[in-house]
Structures are given as structure tokens and as C-alpha cells.
Amino acid sequence: MAESGVVAVYARVVGAQIRSQVQYRGSFLLEVFGSMVTNALDVATVFVLFSVTGGLGGFGGTEVLLMAALSAVCFSWGDLVMGNSERLREYVRTGMFDSLLLRPLSSLAQLTAITFALRRVGRAVQGLVLYVIALLLADIDWTVGRVVLAVLAPIAGTVFFASLFVAGATVAFWWIESGEVANAFTYGGRDFTSYPSTMYGGWFGDLFTLGIGFGFVAYYPSLALLDHPDPMGVPSWLHWCSPVVALIAASLAALFWRVGVRHYRSTGS
């Protein structure tokens, strides 16, 4: 199939999806509005805790805002693109995944097209606005490198969260009732990255910050933008590495997805 033909097919599937979602108009409008409030509430939660002592983990207001806003923009865009992939569980359980494999298009791209949620657009746009405001408020010594990072960091974080959503959904090929385990890393990751990584202690903090790589979503890019040394002693060149980490995450998720699809056995009904 020609490239433009493939795009047209995706556009049609997404269009049909949008039309079906706006059928219950009252409910849909509430959802769009509700999803816009979400980011604001998430960031407000960070600042409720901030207000207790006027600082969090050794960082000031504009620095904490930058990390929270970067986390919000990465999660909301990752959620917009891949967030609904958790519905794969339903497709595997009922055997409906067969219908995706029968079509001459990538099964992963089809899954994202048929689970596209228009209501999340509001939230994603709002996250972006918040990030720009945080960049303007923060005390950043702008250089070419930092401008590039300021643009790349939200893209890298989005790719990182989208990879997590795909990897989490893929587990369903082996373990259908796994849904909530994935939530620990997707929604859990959103909460984790909203705060400076210095707040988490022990093996748990190291595992999530460096092991899984959540530090590279918002914490390290913010340190690089602010020219702030890491209180935990991670060398400063690593602060710039979030695009590399995102590429690794995406490759691993794609590989995992392929293995998962190979493993898929239909229900036979």
C-alpha cells in the first residue's frame, strides 16, 4: 500500500473514533473539561506540599515548578498517544486482537488509532502551556544547547511514557489480569517525576531514578536547564542524556511488543 494510503486509513479510523466519542455530548464535554483540570490539580498537589516549608528536596519554587510542569507535559502527551493501549487486555481476552492482525497495517499503530481519546487533547495542550510558563519563570542561562534541550526534553519524556504504556499493555499477552501492575509505572511514574528525585531515599529511589530511568523525564533535564549540580552526585553530562534514554526505552518497548505479538494465541471462538 502506498504511504499516503496508509495515512488516509489511519485518519479514517481516528475520525470514526472521534465521531463515536462525541455521541454522548454532555458526558464528552465534562470529560474534556475534567481532563483540563487534572494537570492543574496534579501540579497544585505538589505545591500544597511545597507550601509546608517553602521548598522541596532542596529546590525552590520555580525549580520545582519546572520539574512538575515538564513531568506533566511528558505524561499528558504520552497518555494522549498511547495511554489507551491498556485496552489491549480486552482485545486479548476476547480474541478481538485477531481482527487487528488480519489487516495489512501495523497492529500497534492500529491499536493506538482505535483507542485514540480526543478528550486528552485538552490536557496535553494545557500541559504544554504550563511548561512554557515554567520555562519563562525559571532562572535559566539560555545557550544554544539549553534551547535544544528545552525542546527535546518534553519529546523524549513523551516517548519514554509512551514506551512504558506499550510495555505495560504488552504484558497482557502473557498475563491478562496484569492491568494494575502497569499503573504502578505509568501513573506511578507521573507522580514520581513530579517531584525532585532527591526526595526519594534508599534502594527505591535509586531503582526508579536511574534503574528504570524516571530521573531522565523531568529531574535531570531540569538540572541541565538550570545549570544545577545533582545533590546526589550524578555527573552533569548525564543530565543531558534524556533523548538517549528515551530511544533505548522505545527500542526495548518495540522489541517487547514484537515478542508479545508472536506469543499471542487467539481464544478460538
Amino acid identity of residue 56, one-letter, is L
Q: Which is nearer to other proteins, 142 or 175 (CB)?
A: 175
Which stretches of the chain bind other proteins, using CB under 8 A? 24, 26-31, 34-35, 37-38, 41, 44-45, 48-49, 51-53, 55-57, 175, 177-181, 183-185, 188, 191-192, 195, 199-202, 204-205
Q: Which is nearer to other proteins, 183 or 267 (CB)?
A: 183
* Burial class of 45 by CB neighbour count within 10 A (0 to 12, 13 to 18, 19+): middle
Minimum distance from residue 57 beta carbon to other proteins (Å): 6
Q: Are 131 and 49 in contact (CB under 8 A)?
A: no
Q: Which is nearer to other proteins, 30 or 129 (CB)?
A: 30
Q: Which is nearer to other proteins, 10 or 187 (CB)?
A: 187
Q: Which is nearer to other proteins, 142 or 174 (CB)?
A: 174
Helix (H, G, I), strand (E, B) or coil at 217: coil
Minimum distance from residue 168 beta carbon to other proteins (Å): 11
Minimum distance from residue 135 beta carbon to other proteins (Å): 24
Minimum distance from residue 147 beta carbon to other proteins (Å): 32
> How far apart are the C-alpha atoms of 225 and 227, rounded to whole Å?
6
Minimum distance from residue 99 beta carbon to other proteins (Å): 22
> How far apart are the C-alpha atoms of 16 and 193, rounded to whole Å?
34
3-state helix, strand, coil in the chain (%, to 5): 80, 0, 20
Q: What's the CA dihedral at 213, 66, 119, 181 to 10 degrees?
A: 30
